[in-house]
């Protein structure tokens, strides 16, 4: 059973999230922005977890903190 994507509030536009994921000097921040960028695309949590190496529970917490 595929988990539903986390809801991401549009504080930053989609393009800006992607830019920050690619250009951040802080590797941790870059991975967080990448995860949020993928979630903003309505990717399933399982897919984002596989892409980023984060566990789904952490992605849920990250999305909640970002929102």
Residue 11 confidence (pLDDT): 87
In tens, the pLDDT along 1-33 reads 455 668 888 888 889 999 999 999 999 999 999
Task: Give the count of domains, the chain.
Answer: 1
**Residue 23 counted as domain residue:** yes
**Residue 26 counted as domain residue:** yes
Residue 58 confidence (pLDDT): 96
Q: Which domain does 45 fall in, by range?
A: 14-66
> How far is C-alpha 7 from the chain's CA centre?
10
Contact 14, 40 (CB under 8 A): yes
Choice between 10 and 64, residue whose per-residue pLDDT is larger: 64
**Residue 35 counted as domain residue:** yes
**Residue 2 counted as domain residue:** no
Please determine, for residue 43, whether its predicted confidence score (pLDDT) is greater than 70: yes
State if pTM tops 0.75: yes
Contact 37, 14 (CB under 8 A): yes
């Amino acid at each position: 059973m595929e988990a539903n994507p986390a809801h991401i509030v549009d504080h930053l536009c989609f393009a800006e999230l992607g830019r920050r994921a690619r250009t951040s000097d802080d590797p941790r921040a870059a991975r967080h922005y990448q995860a949020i960028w993928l979630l903003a695309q309505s990717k399933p949590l399982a897919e984002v977890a596989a892409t980023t190496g984060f566990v789904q529970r952490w992605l849920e917490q990250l999305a909640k903190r970002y929102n």
